[in-house]
A and B are shown apart, each in its own frame.
Chain A
Amino acid sequence: MSTPLLRVEGLVAGYGRPVVGPLSLDVFPGEVVGLWGANGCGKSTLLNAIADRADLLAGRILRMPGLVIAYQAQQPIRLPSMPVTGRELLRFTGTSLQEMPAALQAVSRQRIDRLSGGQYQLLCVWAAIAGRADLILLDEPTNNLDPEREALLTEMLTPSRLARRDTSGARLLPDRGVLLVSHERRFLEDACSRMIEIA
């Protein structure tokens, strides 16, 4: 098996006091790993610990050297006034505009403060998925999404969408991974290649 993008060993994490752990997991290239568990079990804290936003109280987190992370939090940043179009936002994040889903293409020239909550959520998830990151952390990405957009999100997480072209452009390389948290078991079953339950 290839080298993991991320290895978590005996991790206990929290904010001053333990919230989650001890737990261990690996995320390999090409995988979409879902974290499942009841509210308050520490799923988001685990993502925060991986993203250096929570205290690492025990254990360790090993990243593949040079790993680039994209982290989409539960609620995307929404300001009262955002005179930025979807395309501009994607360009600022270095996200490819090619192969953007038609539903996003249709609204990408609008100001992001004129998008619905679901449209904006999906745009931010696309920025994470189609950007330069090797490991994508998604915290409750189905927030604000109706069933139609949830299906689109599932499609965005398919291995062919996640794979990147090699330097010649001829071959797709499954060299990226996704670690996502959701309280929607059915979505996780549809979207993930593997699921981990946090007690």
Chain B
Amino acid sequence: MSALDLVLDPLFRLPLITGMAIALVLPPIGALLLLRDEWLAALGLAHLAAASALLGLALGLPAVLGAPLGALAGGAVKSFTGARGNLAYGFMILFGWSALFLIAANTSLGATLGHALVDGQLYFAGALELIAALALAGLAAAALPRLIPLLMRARFFPHDETANRLPAHRWHLSFDLLTALAMAIGTATVGLMGAFALVLVPAWIAFRIAPGWTWTLVLCGLIGAGGYLLAYLAALTLDQPFGPVLVAALITLAATVEAGRGLIGITRARLRRKQR
């Protein structure tokens, strides 16, 4: 069976579409997180999502429903306490990691399921996961065009919010909750590290090469979707776990772009020297 046959197989259609929705939503959120210097928060939220997904599974809830509970709680706590910076996110990661494996060790689910959440269980995505991913995509498509100008103003002109006594907590909380929800649904489908890579790597590449913000968002979508498809095909063809393959594919893309930029830089420098 060829890779294309596998992709088109009805058995894999739902996982493919579910993952694609996640791969299109997480990277633009990652661009905003990178701009807000909050990208580590995504890893913290992913750990909390994984821990609460596992707890949910122990109580009989599907991972895609259990995961948002922990992540949304983390997002709300972060927003209300004004916790910012790597130290707060570091503690979030440690707490989530500790809770994840303690829950795994003390329930009948065992460490296997814990590792499954870290690695990703995209191929087991069904109608519920698809509905969650599409709902998330719809929510992001509706919310981000309104949130982006507010978040941009807050980032570049932070004093205007205070000076005009604006209810800034509304849009900061909205973005924190959207991020938490996206990380939770992402973690429950493409895995903890896969979701984190989709937040970080496409945005990092786009920040290096995009000529402006519109292009940053376009590139984020293209790199997220492209990296995801590449990983999907490779994981199926080579019979590998999806999460690690996705991370490897995205890192390879990042390294390729960086090498390309390096080559362009060297070529330009040589041309300048010749012109002199």
Contact = CB atoms under 8 A, between A and B. Distances in A.
Contact of B159 (A53, A92, A127): A53
A160 interface: no
Interface in A136-159: 137
A77 B164 CA distance: 19
Given A69-B160, A69-B163, A69-B164, A85 B155 contact: no
B52 interface: no
Contacts, number: 75
Name the interface size band of chain B.
20 to 34
A92 B148 CA distance: 8
Contacts of A137: 163
B213 A93 contact: no
A77 B156 contact: yes
Interface in A6-62: 50-53
Bin the interface of chain A by size. Answer: 20 to 34
B162 interface: yes
Given A83-B212, A85-B212, A111-B212, A52 B163 contact: yes
Contact of A79 (B31, B35, B158): B35
Interface in B133-163: 148-149, 152-153, 155-160, 162-163
B95 interface: no
Contacts of A128: 157
A77 B158 contact: yes
A191 B101 CA distance: 64
A68 interface: yes
A84 B153 contact: no
A68 B211 contact: no
B155 to A, nearest CB: 7
B275 to A, nearest CB: 22
B143 to A, nearest CB: 16
B24 to A, nearest CB: 19
Contact of A92 (B152, B164, B208, B210): B152
B214 interface: yes
A36 to B, nearest CB: 22
Interface in B144-203: 148-149, 152-153, 155-160, 162-165
Interface in B213-270: 213-216
Contacts of B210: 83
B153 A92 contact: yes
Contact of B162 (A52, A84, A91): A52
Pick from B34, B164, B211 the residue with the most CB of A within 10 Å.
Answer: B164
B157 A83 contact: no
Contacts of A53: 159, 162-163
Contacts of B89: none
Interface of B: 31, 34-35, 37, 148-149, 152-153, 155-160, 162-165, 206-208, 210-216
Given A83-B207, A83-B213, A111-B212, 10 more contacts: A51-B159, A51-B163, A72-B157, A76-B156, A81-B34, A83-B215, A83-B216, A84-B212, A89-B156, A111-B211
